[in-house]
Structure 1
Amino acid sequence: MQNVLIVGAGTGGSILLDLLQNLDFMNVLAIIDTDEEAPGIIHAKEIGIAYGIDWKNYLTTDVHIIFDVTGKESVFAELLAARPNHTLLIPGSVANLLVKLLKENDTYIKRIRVEMHKQRMIFDSVEEGMIGINHEGNVNFFNKSASRMTGVPITEAIGKPITEVIPSTELPRVFLARKQELNRELILGNGMEIVTSRYPLFDHVGNIVGAFAVFKDITGVLALAEEITDLNKVKTMLEAIIHSSDDAISVVDDMGNGILVNPAYTRITGLTENEVIGKPANADISEGESIHMQVLKSRKPVRGVNMRIGENNREVIVNVAPIIVDHQVKGSVGVIHDITEMRNLMKELDQARTIIRKLESTYTFDDIFGVSPDIEIAVDQAKLAAKSNLPVLLRGETGVGKELFAHAIHSSSERRFNKFIRVNCAAMDPNRLETTLFGSVESTSQSGQRKQGLLEESEQGTLFLDEITDLPLDSQEKLLVFLKEGILYNIGSAQPIQLSVRIITATSKKLEKAMNEGRFNEELYYFLNRIAIHITPLRSRKKDIPFIIEHLLVKLNQEFGMNVKRITREALDRLMDYEWAGNVRELENVISRAMIYMGSSEMVLGLEDIIKSLYSDGNEAEEQILPEKSTLASIMDGHEKTILETALRENKGNKSLTATRLGISLRSLYYKLEKFSLI
């Protein structure tokens, strides 16, 4: 480390200070100038570097280099006479040259990094997998497509021997033979069929330095090639598919004139073939512009457009794509969905999803998005937990994704092919919760009829107990017995039942407080804490928001039948500034409402849509006046306390009636009353 003294804090001295600060081997002791308002002095104050008006006060034996950028010969002469023998004095002309060289070096480095980033983006954007090895046979290049096709993460592939990443690889042989191999077929370890070309890599003097492979998935291509053997048969099959489809299909030529419609089209629009074939593309539109004509002009598909078509003025959703042959637009094909039918199907689908999600896990670790250290640590802990059968405790605020983590742990465990059952302890009647979990035997019945509980239904699977703090103490003791011994006793029976069930619990409340107050079993607390995973709130990991939004757009596009491709920078900035008291769940609700506010053909989520969603009561954000020094949490708490006081007053202090009036459990009401000191 070289200690440096800069004499002269003008423009040159300021630039020199800025450059030297970024060098690991340079330590600027101080910068000197008789003008305390010089740019270098001001900059030194900002970054905490010592400064002064007399260099003699700073010239010690610790100084290795002095830069004289005053431009005065007298100052240079004085410095030359006063400097220690080991101290190097660099005049202004040399210093200026050094500044210029350092700036050019910094500029070149930045350019190189930008070019490297661009090249990496290009390689990661292509469909073909690309793998490179060095002269030792270790992987030194691995793009995203290669990772996707091989199933090996990039971080696990880089630096590893190529034979460990792809055991069947021929790259080492190409390296030794120094000859390229083109279009060779290969089957990867996961069964994927690829066609690959391999090339030796040489440096500028002809020495071999590695080898490189480019490959493409041909599994689908081979399957299709085997099936398509007769073009006439294919044509007949395609026509049969189009005419048998329940979706209305219309095709126009490159001039926008109709050339094909199917029976479903006639049924939905009320128009016959003779009324459409050979007619302009807007012949079937009751209002608005023809999407066929838009697609022919733009050469790009348009999806999820709400329109009214036909004589009956029926409301439909239209998807239209161009037909491109040899890089020329030959026409376009549209698929029309009747919204009435779709709504019925979506309602049935939502019902089916609700049932399925109660019975089995539907999420994996791939559904957890974020790059912040906190979420990465939580995911790593959850992946480790998935490999064991120990109980897991998930902690975090409401809406952070505890259930998502529980699903992911189950999906990655050995129990993934068996049931995943979720129980919200806070939402169930405490008197029924015990029998719901552990089952019961009716003692009054002569036959002793037995009712199976959710623990038995979860045999060989996973039982997720959400809001475990609301589990009654008696049930906590029974759960502890099951966790310790693997034995279950039905309520009203002394007959033990041996079970193997993975228990995952979650809470948004303070377990320690509940334990200290005697509301939570201490032994159960320590048993559950063997694997405890804390999921941080969204406001503490806001850099994850763009990644979560990208995932939500894909998910909500499918649910709403829309085609929103991105969110504007201004809209994203507004979401990044928000505090997210409801965490990821609140973020999904905001994006959902914003997409509903959008026009049917819009593809970009803008600031206006986000503002409408955040302030859905109709008031603009700018009209909201917040109390001084208040946070969203404090405002929400104050509002909740007012509602509780009003409800208690209306029901003359009766807690049971108050809980019924507010639509919450009596246990939840007592928790809230205690929180706001209302009891």
Structure 2
Amino acid sequence: MQNILIVGAGNGGYALLKLIEQADYLQVTAIVDINDEAPGIIYAKQHNIPIYNEWRSLLSKDIQIIIDVTGQKEVFYELLQNRPATAVLIPGEIANLIVTLLEEKNSYIQIINQRKALQDLIFNSIEEGMIGINSQGIVNFFNKSAERMTLIPVEEAMGKHVVDVISLSELPRIYETGKVELNKELTLESGTKIVTSRYPMVNNEGKRIGAFAVFQDISEVVRLAEEITNLTEIQKMLEAIIYSSEDAISVVDEDGKGILINPAYTRITGFSEEEVIGKPATADISEGESIHLKVLQTKKPIRGVNLRVGKEEKDVIVNVAPILVNNQLKGSVGVIHDMTEMRGLMKELDRARTIIRTLESSYSFEDIVGISDEINLAIEQAKLAANVPITVLLRGEVGAGKDLFAHAIHGESSRSMYPFVRVNCSSLEEHLLERELFGYQEEGITYPGKLEEAFKGTIFLDEVGELTKKTQAKLLQVLRENVFVPVGGTAPKHVDVRIIAASSLNLEKAMREGTFREDFYFQLNRMPIYIPSLRQRKKDIPLLAERLLVKLNQEFGRNIEGFTNQALEILCLYDWPGNVRELENIISRSMIFLQPNDRSVDERHLPKLMLQLSTEEDEDSIAPLSEQMDEMEKRVLAQALNICEGNKSKTAKRLNISLRSLYYKLEKYNLV
């Protein structure tokens, strides 16, 4: 630290005092002036710097520098004669020069600081991240965009080795090799993917002093690349896509004049480009209104319109959408689907769905086919039941599709990821059914039943009307308290399961006769759904027949395309006591008689005895006796089941056969 004595506190001394005060290695021990109002004296008082009116008493060995700014020669010579030998005397002229130089220095420093602040502002405002290192790999530059992309604050990055900031950084290698690398991809620790360019930093003498990297998000690079992509190239690319599409596409301008079609359009309509381009949008329509013109009027898309187009008047479905650029209508684009191709695709889709359903052994609401009000009401009720955790009771005749509805409700419910377990309540004696439902304990070992198997899922109790009152009581406890006791056990078990029940019996009549518990009935009947019989929804028969044909084609390895109108008329006349199961059985029997080159099921292929109520027998046509006996037996079984309202025990008694024989025959004729 250098001690300085300033003699003279005028403007020169004042300026010198302020400059020296800014230096860390200089210290003003005192300032001297005979004028107490001199600027330097006032400044010194404000900053606690010692002030004096005379300088002689201040000369000592502790003063290293004496500055004379009085401007008086006699003062300078006197100071020169009396100064300590170790002190340097600086005259006023030199002091003024020093002041000027220091002021210029401060001015330059201020300019440099301003420029640096401006550079920092610029570097921190740009989107690209920037990072620089010195020859030792220490980070000496790191802007705000680099902070944003790396998630490392500037203060933490500065002064660290670059590998500690970005572990995969190649900047040290760039410094060593002196080679530039452009547009290299890198994934930062923050997960941000960037494209970076790296440069060595070289001074005026050609010596490498560090390295520098500029980087940005790939997404930003892609966006910028898309903005500068040549519009002509984009147009050619879009045209290539349109021309290669299998869908027929037509484009018109805002006046409804054709401007573009693709080869698929020519294939479907038969019109060439010369017949469409520049012509009105109605040029290709043989029946119906131009959807292009409607879209141009409304500026809204229109989908799924049936038209006839082209020279062959083909049935097509048209989808048209407006072309809006900056909310300005520039035209419309239409996509035409040939219904012939669509029908083929729908058949393939149905076939695929059938295969999937077979593999999954489950069904959804898409598998329930029909357009009648009766079946649609049942479907809507079932969809509502699927979204509500409530017990469901499915009512309907044998073969009407109650199991299909049960599967669909489970598949749409929140329990769909858990098991669906089916139990036929009429297939076992009481003690065996209880063991199957609730499980049992023997010799200290517990064997779980269907209720535990269906944990968190759904248990489907088919023909619940056949249950004994004892079993009904045990199931009532499950419905009310979610607990049951295994057969032979004593400790109750908790169960989390949804119950869907089904019955073809008249449960209300069973309650009146005392065979069905009222409390069990009311607990089951919280969400009743009636499944209509096939004779109540005959308009669904053509759709059902087509869907069953897809399934049976897959099973038999055939490719039958459909039914003749005569065959469908006969199917719609029959009353179907066996419902959908009987319809499937008839179609499968009919397919047996088809020749390899047959493509449709015709009237002659239908089993006549099974449809004798709707067709007149050919007097000269006599089927084999065994076939007639089978057909008659099936009719008798179906009618007996209908009379007994699906109650198999009563049916067996009325027919005077064993319950086991009845089940065998029902399985044989697909009436279960």
- TM-score interval (norm. to shorter): 0.3 to 0.5
TM-score using structure 2 length = 0.44
TM-score normalised by length of structure 1: 0.44
